[in-house]
A and B are shown apart, each in its own frame.
Chain A
Amino acid sequence: MSSILSKVKLPYLLLLPGFLFLFTFFILPIVNLAQTSTQTPIADGDTGQYEQTFRFANYIDAFVENREQFARSFIFAICATLLALAIAYPLAYAIAFKSGRFKNILLVLIIAPFFTSFLLRTVAWKQILGEEGFVVPPLRTLGIIGESTTLTSTSFAVVLGMTYNFLPFMTLPLYASLERIDPRTMEASGDLYANGITTFRRVTLPLSMPGVVAGTLLTFIPAAGDYVNAAILGNPNSKMLGNVIESRYFRIVDYPTAAALSFTLMAAILILVTLYIRKAGTEELV
């Protein structure tokens, strides 16, 4: 057998089934989506019937009509990513350097909450931040928020939900990167007259950049296209692009617009990601 499967052919054989599958069910659908995006409704036809007219103006229409949701999606995603970074970095740092023999337990505890269905967790936040939860009433009593302000059905809640849900995607790459740093480099820094903050700024942070890049990408990309958090924790004014696409597919049955929006979203993400990677300089992501 080994004489037949020479070293040259074997990798291609191994790739074949998987790539065939991905080609059929990933590449082809996206190509199909592209050709859907330039269609227009058939005059006098039923809802949901379209014909190919190569109308590239679909993109412009879609973008203009939904620019608010576009902007919101990216703003929310960036906010959530930054918040997640702020929360996850110290957490990852604590596990990597300050946890001693509890390291493995803590790692498990970081991922553990995510064994509960993410929908259950998001709904839980809705109820916790809601009128009958244990957050709003005390805040009202303390006078921090007024009688009429609610925490749910707000953009604030949406971003909070997104931050929470994508936290492990930020924490784990950060941890992996921090863990690889030889603690003796930080000791050496102290030996060379740098205080704690300087050591962090000049030694730890730069060395952990690959983790920061990976974490922010793994958080930002799904966040930009999310709509579940907005649906559960938001209100009609906090709709994200994902909500628009979903409603175009299922309620309004406007496939070309939905397709155009999807592509624009993907393109925007790809551009941002490429710029970010160029600036941050990490090559090997996968």
Chain B
Amino acid sequence: MTKVKDATIPTIPAQARLSRWFGRNLIRIYAFFGFTYLFIPVAYTFAFSFNDSGKSNLIWKGFTLDNWQNPCGAPEICTALGNSIKIGLLATIFSTILGTMIAFAIGRYAFKGRSTSNLLIFLPMATPEIVLGASLLSLFLVFQINPGFWPTVIAHVVFCISFVVVTVKARIASLDPRLEQAAMDLYANELQTFRRVTLPLVAPGIAAAALLAFSLSFDDFIITNFNSGTLTTFPKFVYVSAARGIPAQANVIGSAMFFLALAIVIAGQLISKKTKINK
């Protein structure tokens, strides 16, 4: 009887092993480069936020923490930031409320005109921003309303609603209708069922939609440009300063927003992980 110990395990030659590893991991290597590429401008922005630049942040002059300690140093920058945040919050509130109501109507009920409604919601997303912005400006001019704060809020709500509807609708679609039936079976009337079962379960979707709306609003430039007149927002500020050189404080704010948003998303992930402990 041949001893198993004596049998030799065939070894794969080193070159073949290398090419096999390569083939299996080609995509991973590619993905690594892809992520690096994604982060280049972010890293650059972050790095240059420490530049001792003065007014023009084009060449590296020296490392300093001044910018981070004094983020409102550049003229108008914090006004712009404040406006962006105010507009963002208002636009988020209105678009989330209106959008959630629409999402429930379309996602829950079969009614005449449902597919038309779906189409109507899709239209703002399919319209180029420049058309949205320009058309609203035209309308405001006809009614002799000057571009400014409220026209901008209105404009933002217009393009945010569709995204809210899509996000909330997706969450509603994943809701098991039997849960609401179970609630009614257990003596909850329609209002109680909505309050105690439907809403808590849809809430994460609404939260995600609100976050999305805020980031879309905060980052918007084209539509804002058409409808804000003399009011500055953060993106407008950056665009205008782009010619002569963006102050390093803008980099500070941009980087800070990045880390804040990252923290929020990671926190959200951790929370949802906690409520799903595997047995």
A132 touches B58 (CB 8 A): yes
CA distance A14 to B100 in the complex (A): 9
A10 touches B109 (CB 8 A): yes
B126 touches A269 (CB 8 A): yes
Q: A-facing mask of B140-168, CB < 8 A → 1, else 0?
A: 00100000000000110110010001100
Question: Is B197 positioned at the interface, with any CB of A under 8 Å from its CB?
Answer: no
Nearest CB on A from B113, distance (A): 9
Known pairs A15-B105, A227-B130; A124 contacts B157 (CB<8 A): no
Known pairs A26-B124, A90-B30; A112 contacts B258 (CB<8 A): yes
CA distance A143 to B39 in the complex (A): 27
B45 touches A120 (CB 8 A): yes
- Tally inter-chain residue pairs, CB-CB below 8 A: 236
B139 touches A2 (CB 8 A): no
Q: B-facing mask of A232-261, CB < 8 A → 1, else 0?
A: 100000000010011001000001001100
Question: Is B234 positioned at the interface, with any CB of A under 8 Å from its CB?
Answer: yes
The binding surface of chain A is classed by DSSP as helix
Q: Which 3 A-B pairs have the closest CB atoms?
A: A225-B128, A94-B31, A29-B135
The binding surface of chain B is classed by DSSP as helix
Interface residue total, chain B, C-beta cutoff 8 A? 85
Chain A residue with minimal CB distance to B109? A11
B111 touches A109 (CB 8 A): no
Question: Is A42 positioned at the interface, with any CB of B under 8 Å from its CB?
Answer: no
B residues lining the A interface (CB < 8 Å)? 27-28, 30-31, 34-35, 37-42, 44-45, 48, 58-59, 98-99, 101-102, 104-106, 108-109, 111, 117-118, 120-132, 134-139, 142, 154-155, 157-158, 161, 165-166, 169, 189-191, 215, 218-219, 221-222, 225-226, 234-235, 238-239, 242, 246, 250-251, 254-255, 257-258, 260-262, 265-266, 269
Contacting residues, chain A, for B257 (C-beta < 8 A): 115-117
Interface residue stretch chosen among A16-24, A54-62, A63-71, A181-189 = A16-24
Contacting residues, chain A, for B31 (C-beta < 8 A): 90-91, 94-95, 98, 106
Contacting residues, chain B, for A91 (C-beta < 8 A): 30-31, 34-35
B42 touches A108 (CB 8 A): no
Question: Is A203 positioned at the interface, with any CB of B under 8 Å from its CB?
Answer: no
Question: Is A7 positioned at the interface, with any CB of B under 8 Å from its CB?
Answer: yes
A112 touches B262 (CB 8 A): yes
Contacting residues, chain B, for A115 (C-beta < 8 A): 215, 257-258, 260-262
A32 touches B135 (CB 8 A): yes
CA distance A265 to B265 in the complex (A): 36
Contacting residues, chain B, for A116 (C-beta < 8 A): 41-42, 45, 254-255, 257-258
Contacting residues, chain A, for B40 (C-beta < 8 A): 124, 128
A286 touches B122 (CB 8 A): yes
Known pairs A25-B158, A90-B30, A108-B266; A245 contacts B134 (CB<8 A): yes
Known pairs A115-B257, A117-B234, A286-B121; A242 contacts B41 (CB<8 A): no
B104 touches A14 (CB 8 A): yes
A123 touches B246 (CB 8 A): yes
Question: Is A224 positioned at the interface, with any CB of B under 8 Å from its CB?
Answer: yes
- Interface-central residue, B39, B42, B117, B155, by most chain A CB under 10 Å: B42
Nearest CB on A from B168, distance (A): 12
CA distance A18 to B215 in the complex (A): 21
CA distance A10 to B102 in the complex (A): 11
CA distance A11 to B222 in the complex (A): 34
Nearest CB on A from B221, distance (A): 6
